[in-house]
Structure 1
């Protein structure tokens, strides 16, 4: 990717430290401000599900580079290139990401040589891991995405191929993730959660078929009877899945996280994972079908130690 001779590094004022250092790029002096989270990185203190309250109340359909930094893309190593599998992955800790079992059904499940790769820290699908910096048309730049080889795939033991229920897979990475401002984990649960997920206006994020940049949106969850009607499942609907109406009809890739907000002291504190997207259905409006992770949390924790 060609770079302008005057590169401006994208930084976030609320996270800046008091020190800065000079970086010389293409003969131009650029101020690379040190981020306050460096101290936390050094001690291993990473806050999962980090959010910026200001970004919750916008109508933007694209995220900022540091927004929802737990969403990546699943690739397949083809030897001479990486194929985008059009599935999202969600970072849950330093060695594991989560996606749907359907997304990994074509991969080798044997440990060590799965051919699956997680691309993390990606803001635009067209960005290459070979780029040290990637910039937009306004010369705002962020670090290029990072590749992490997947060495083990664990599909939920109660996955039902007939109904699609428990469509979850944990992917273990070859090496620990290096945390940055653009690569961080989501929280797996909130400090207090509502009893029901029906009629909840929840956040989701990921990549989609309509834009190359990482997107976001809101979706209203519906009741199981309504979900059965929307999916034409008149007799049976998977007990651990749920439906939601997105505000926009954009079809996001499977694996996109559906998130609620943990509120503490009457302030939004962090995002936590509620479900991941398994499919989109077109009726009068787009319906999203999600796999809930609530009943799978013990399995997730046990297999991501």
Structure 2
């Protein structure tokens, strides 16, 4: 197996082409070589903010293909769709999150190795302490389907576990139409973490052609470059650029739904734009990282 970056039992080596190394990054680690390398999977040190949700008995889902993902936004908090947790009786139900998952078929507490001897650190399985569901969440329409999860302990930051940066102030009002973003997640039909480009389209066109994907005014639609369906909650991320240099990834949205267009052989997906919910997110988290106008990730 040919990989751009290797992580063998925690030993990492890389040739980076951007302004910040993996060791220096505090959130949203970006590597241009990794971004442009479109393999059938994402390497472990890409999109390290993925969080797999587990339920009462530690399983990831109650039904086949019913898995959910979230995104690590601080050492202690994960953002995810509310409908992944709220049951028919109105009670929120989840057990833990698993961070650093690369191969979803591997056990959480074991080193994951492929047939060529390529190994990845075990996932961190952290129980949940609290689930804060958006007060306007509507389980019938899935409007405002957003929840902030608080972990029982801090996540340990490693080359495969890192928070995503939050949207910078300069981009909170920018249009999401006609843009190119990246979504990474755990595919429903494959085992390894995957990524794909997403080209966003206008709300009016999405409403006309794919009305079943529209849930509210905070939903954005886009066409995926790869024909893969991911667990709901997969994070959509953008690239923050300063002085013509790509600095980091930042969070744009969470995957709500997808459908395959048989004739066109493509996947169209809808995402919840997280920017209108920043006040709710801040209210229920401790230490979000927003990168503004310089290399210092904590400003």
TM-score, normalised via structure 1 length: 0.80
Which residue of structure 2 lines up, in the alignment, with residue 139 of structure 1?
A: 117
Measure, in 1, the Cα distance between the counterparts of 2:233 and 2:11. Answer: 28
1:42-81 matches, within 5 Å, as: 47-78=26-57
SS in 2 for 1:150: strand
1:30 is aligned to none
Higher relative contact order (CA 8 A, sep 6+): 2
Say if 1:61 and 1:217, in contact at 8 Å, map to a contact too: no
| 1:138-166 CA-partner distances (Å, limit 9, x unpaired) | 11212111101012111111223343221
Partner residue, 1:94 = 75
What SS does the aligned partner of 2:192 have? coil
Deviation at 1:9, TM superposition (A): 3.8
* 2:273 is aligned with 1:295: no
After TM superposition, the structure 1 = structure 2 runs for residues 234-273 of structure 1, keeping only pairs within 5 Å, are 238-273=216-251
Shift of residue 10, structure 1, vs aligned partner: 6.3
Aligned to 1:282: 260
Q: Answer 1 or 2: which has greater strand percent.
A: 1
| 1:105 Cα deviation from its structure 2 partner | 1.8
Q: Deviations over 1:25-68 (max 9, x none)?
A: xxxxxxxxxx983xx6xxxxx51101111111122231111111
| Contact 1:15–1:36 (8 Å) recurs in 2 | no
Query: 1:70 deviation in Å?
Result: 0.3
Checking the alignment, whether the CA contact within 8 Å between 1:192 and 1:262 is kept in structure 2 is no
Instruction: Choose from 122, 130, 139 the match for 1:161.
Output: 139
Asked if 1:202 corresponds to 2:174, the answer is no
**Which portions of structure 1, spanning 4 or more consecutive aligned residues, are displaced by more than 4 angstroms?**
107-111
Residues in 2 aligned to 1:36 and 1:195: alpha-carbon distance in whole angstroms:
28
* Larger CA Rg, structure 1 vs 2: 1
Question: 1:233 deviation in Å?
Answer: 5.8
Report the Cα offset of residue 266 of structure 1: 1.1
Q: What TM-score, normalized by structure 2, do the two folds share? A: 0.82
1:103 is aligned, of 80, 84, 91, to: 84
Residue 191 of structure 1: CA displacement?
Answer: 5.6
Residues 184-199 of structure 1: pairs in structure 2 closer than 5 A: 184-190=162-168, 192-193=170-171, 195-199=174-178
Q: Which runs of 5+ in 1 are unaligned?
A: 1-6, 17-34, 41-45
SS at match of 1:77: coil
Gaps of 5+ in 2: 1-6, 287-299
The CA RMSD over aligned residues, in Å, is: 2.6
